[in-house]
């Protein structure tokens, strides 16, 4: 078995500044050894450790979709030591990627269902991966209705703005973009917090409808009762957690909630699973 701590060497192929505050950047990586790409088989919802020699490693959700070949992309918020260093790196710099890690959204269960994606802030990364995956011509017919409720503080804080605008125009996906506030008179979409828009726009819950919810704790806290009211069962609400991580493979011991390791048994859990576990996230 191979050393699970050894990152694949990658080259930064492109860096895109996503938000007006410049704190969020999307990094596109290409594998240095072409064989490594074949080994890196992932599904939407998984994450990887981005590894910078001398600085350390950070767990980041994979923002590219498995249907996009030839590269991996990650959107990184600048907060601490490793993320700040990453933001100072340039195209063509060499670093490492270790993964894929964790479980994905439960795609076998989601096939044939209505999917409601609810995202807030920069937790939209693996949701982007999921949307691109579902909209792929080979996959779209596997899903029924797709709704996306995506909110940011201001229009300038929305990630993937060009793509989101493209999705808005499509008939096979119902987009509900929202911002907390805006003074832009041309803003053509919703204004209001994600829970409010969810209440107004999300379809009612039933056996055939699953919600995937990712966002800051405050958004999750207020969205949950609304989904309850809309009739979503706890095992039809899917969430992705973040805890401090090091190993990413269930060995270093820090990311657990109860007996589950967020890195290995998660990061994707249903709300039903989480209600039986301590709220240590």
Partner 1 sequence: MAPVMKFIRIDKENWERDLQKLRRSFRLIGPVKADQDCLFKTLGEGEFPDFNFLNTRLSLKSLVLPQSENMFEYSLDQSREDCHILKEVKRNPTQCVVFGIRPCDAFAFLLVKPNFDTPEHEDPYWKQAYGAITLVGLACDTPCSTCFCTSAGCGPYHEEGLDVLLVPADDHYLAKAITEKGKHLLKAVDWDTETAPGVAEKEIEARRLAAEKRITSFISTDHLKEKVTIDLYDAPFWEDVAFSCINCGICTYVCPTCWCFDIQDETRGKSGRRMRNWDSCMYPLFTLHASGHNPRGMKIQRVRQRFMHKLKYYVDKYNNGIQCVGCGRCIRLCPVNIDIRRVGELMNNYKPIA
Show the site string, 21-60: x = touches partner 1 by CB under 8 A, - = not. Answer: -----------x------------------xxxxxxx---
**Min CB(75)–ligand FES separation in Å:** 21
Nearest to ligand FES of 131, 268 (CB atom): 268
Whole-angstrom Cα distance, residue 101 to residue 212?
19
Note whether 212 and 149 are within 8 A (CB): no
Give the range of 40-48, 60-68, 182-190, 249-257 binding ligand FES by CB under 6 A.
249-257
Give the range of 64-72, 221-229, 239-247, 268-276 binding ligand FES by CB under 6 A.
239-247
Site for ligand FES contains 254 (CB under 6 A): yes
Nearest to partner 1 of 144, 244 (CB atom): 244
Residue with tokens 């693996």: 126
Chain centroid to Cα 105, Å, comes to: 10
Contacts of 171 (CB under 8 A, 6+ apart): none
Note whether 248 and 49 are within 8 A (CB): yes
Q: Which of 100, 215, 248, 267 is the binder for ligand FES (CB under 6 A)?
A: 248
Q: Which of 253, 259, 276, 279 is the binder for ligand FES (CB under 6 A)?
A: 253
Whole-angstrom Cα distance, residue 23 to residue 78?
5
Chain centroid to Cα 82, Å, comes to: 19
C-alpha distances (whole Å) from 210 to each of 99, 113, 125, 146, 214 are 27, 7, 19, 10, 13
Q: 89-108: which residues touch partner 1 (CB under 8 A)?
A: 93-96
The residue ranges that bind ligand FES (CB under 6 A) are: 245-248, 250-255, 261, 263
């Amino acid at each position: 078995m191979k050393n699970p701590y050894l990152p694949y060497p990658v080259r930064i192929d492109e860096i895109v500044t996503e938000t007006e505050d410049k704190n969020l950047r999307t990094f596109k990586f290409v594998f240095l050894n072409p064989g490594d790409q074949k080994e890196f088989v992932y599904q939407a919802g998984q994450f990887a450790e981005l590894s910078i020699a001398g600085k350390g490693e950070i767990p980041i959700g994979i923002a590219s979709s498995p249907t996009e070949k030839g590269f991996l992309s990650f959107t990184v918020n600048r907060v601490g030591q490793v993320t700040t260093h990453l933001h100072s790196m340039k195209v063509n710099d060499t670093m490492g990627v270790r993964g894929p890690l964790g479980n994905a959204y439960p795609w076998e269960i989601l096939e044939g269902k209505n999917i409601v994606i609810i995202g807030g802030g920069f937790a939209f990364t693996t949701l982007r991966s999921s949307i691109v995956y579902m909209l792929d011509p080979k996959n779209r017919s596997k899903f029924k209705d797709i709704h996306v409720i995506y909110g940011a503080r201001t229009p300038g804080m929305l990630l993937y703005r060009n793509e989101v605008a493209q999705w808005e125009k499509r008939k096979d996906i119902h987009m509900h973009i929202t911002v907390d506030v805006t003074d832009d008179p041309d803003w053509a979409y919703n204004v209001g917090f994600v829970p409010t828009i969810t209440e107004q726009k999300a379809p009612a819950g039933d056996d055939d409808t699953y919600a995937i919810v990712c966002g800051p704790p405050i958004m999750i806290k207020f969205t949950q009762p609304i989904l309850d009211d809309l009739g979503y069962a706890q095992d039809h609400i899917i969430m992705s957690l973040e805890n401090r991580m090091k190993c990413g493979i269930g060995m270093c011991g820090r990311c657990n909630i109860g007996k589950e390791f967020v890195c290995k048994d998660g990061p994707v859990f249903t709300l039903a699973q989480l209600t039986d576990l301590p709220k240590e996230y």
